[in-house]
């Protein structure tokens, strides 16, 4: 197959692109390189630098494409609070531009990388796809809007659509920016360098951490799943882990003497969030295989940033 991945040089996009070229597919990647890194990509991936809102560029890239993976997005939840207009422009506007360009070029399937962040605070756990979204950040709002645009425009333009609500993905090569770093690579760096792991709130808040290889498996399956059209599907580990428990796992796998510090003045976010992944099993034939501790060890082994400590 001929595939286009928007955000193809990012953490998830590059992992997916490299997997697809290994399977013999022709893979094109579009990335503005704001967070993407070409060094992540196999030489067989055809990378174009550009903005996902650039419709003429999309027309060129989409010629003969069988399936699009739409991963291009701004993804830092705290940052979205400060820059909601940019998150709306890129995450929502980019999705609309892509769907229009797909209509114009006759591409017939798109897989959207959505997010578990759309759920917000929910009384029922694990959360399933039928629950009403209650996003508590502009990022979450942008993702639910992207889902609606993808599904609605897909119906109007006769494009098959699958939206995967990916929970807290992690693994080797994940971005570690100086501001708003993701929790797992930040904790691993703090442990490996002899620092302290800082936990916001009291650490009782729970999350669902899913290893990158498992996410890639789900994305690959979604491109050809015959009964998944017009669906939204949770992709997570299905395991609920508190931030305190995560810190204990990090200490164990790094085998370091690490201090755990709590910062109660900063919110830890929603109190609980874990994915019900039964629909993914039914529609994609997919299940997560990597435990959190195994995923942390694999991250340490494969990511050179953590090997010097």
List the domain boundaries for the chain.
2-169+211-237+275-289, 183-206+240-274+293-306
Q: How far apart are CA 215 and CA 231, in angstroms?
A: 17
Burial class of residue 161, CB neighbours in 10 A (0-12, 13-18, 19+):
buried
* pLDDT at residue 309 tops 90: no
Which range, of 117-126, 147-156, 166-175, 177-186, averages the lowest pLDDT?
A: 177-186
For domain 2-169+211-237+275-289, the CATH superfamily is NAD(P)-binding Rossmann-like Domain (3.40.50.720)
List active site positions: 139
Among 141, 131, 147, 172, which Cα is nearest to 272's? 131
Q: How far apart are CA 87 and CA 83, in angstroms?
A: 7
Could you read off the pLDDT of 103-147 as tens digits, one per residue? 999 999 999 999 999 999 999 999 999 999 999 999 999 999 999
Q: Which fold has domain 183-206+240-274+293-306?
A: UDP-galactose 4-epimerase; domain 1 (3.90.25)
Q: Are the C-beta atoms of 164 and 217 separated by less than 8 Å?
A: no
* pLDDT at residue 308 tops 90: no
Could you read off the pLDDT of 62-92 as tens digits, one per residue? 999 999 999 999 999 999 999 999 999 999 9
Could you read off the pLDDT of 227-282 as tens digits, one per residue? 999 999 999 999 999 999 999 999 999 999 899 999 998 888 999 999 999 999 99
pLDDT bucket at 180, cuts 50 / 70 / 90: confident
The pLDDT, as a whole number, for residue 132 is 98
Could you read off the pLDDT of 209-226 as tens digits, one per residue? 999 999 999 999 999 999
* pLDDT at residue 191 tops 70: yes
User: What's the chain's average pLDDT?
Assistant: 96
The pLDDT, as a whole number, for residue 101 is 98
Enumerate the β-bridge partners of residue 70.
6, 112
pTM: 0.97
């Amino acid at each position: 197959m001929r595939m286009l991945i928007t955000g193809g040089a990012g953490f998830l996009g590059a992992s997916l692109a490299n997997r697809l070229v290994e399977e013999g597919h022709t893979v094109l990647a579009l990335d503005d390189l704001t967070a993407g890194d070409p060094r992540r990509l196999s030489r067989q991936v055809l990378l174009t630098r550009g903005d996902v809102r650039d419709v003429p560029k999309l027309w060129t890239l989409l010629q003969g494409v069988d399936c699009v993976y739409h991963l291009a997005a701004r993804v830092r939840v705290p940052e979205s609070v400060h820059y909601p207009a940019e998150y709306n422009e890129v995450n929502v506007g980019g999705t609309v531009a892509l769907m229009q360009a797909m209509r114009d070029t006759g591409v017939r399937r798109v897989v959207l990388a959505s997010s578990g962040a759309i759920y917000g605070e929910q009384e029922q756990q694990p959360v399933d796809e039928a629950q009403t979204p209650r996003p508590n950040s502009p990022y979450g709002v942008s993702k639910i809007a992207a889902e609606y645009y993808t599904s609605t425009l897909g119906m109007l333009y006769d494009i098959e659509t699958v939206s995967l609500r990916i929970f807290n993905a992690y693994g080797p090569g994940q971005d570690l920016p100086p501001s708003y770093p993701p929790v797992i690579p930040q904790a691993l760096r703090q442990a490996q360098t002899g620092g302290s792991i800082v936990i916001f709130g009291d650490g009782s808040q729970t999350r669902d951490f899913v290893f990158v290889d498992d996410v890639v498996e789900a994305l690959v399956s979604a491109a050809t799943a015959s009964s998944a059209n017009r669906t939204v599907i949770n992709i997570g580990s299905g395991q609920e882990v508190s931030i305190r428990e995560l810190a204990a796992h990090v200490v164990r796998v790094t085998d370091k003497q690490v201090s755990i510090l709590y910062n109660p003045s900063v919110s830890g976010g929603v109190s609980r969030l874990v994915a019900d992944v039964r629909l993914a099993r039914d529609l994609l034939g997919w299940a997560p295989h990597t435990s959190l501790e195994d995923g942390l060890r694999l991250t340490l082994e494969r990511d050179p940033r953590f090997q010097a400590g």
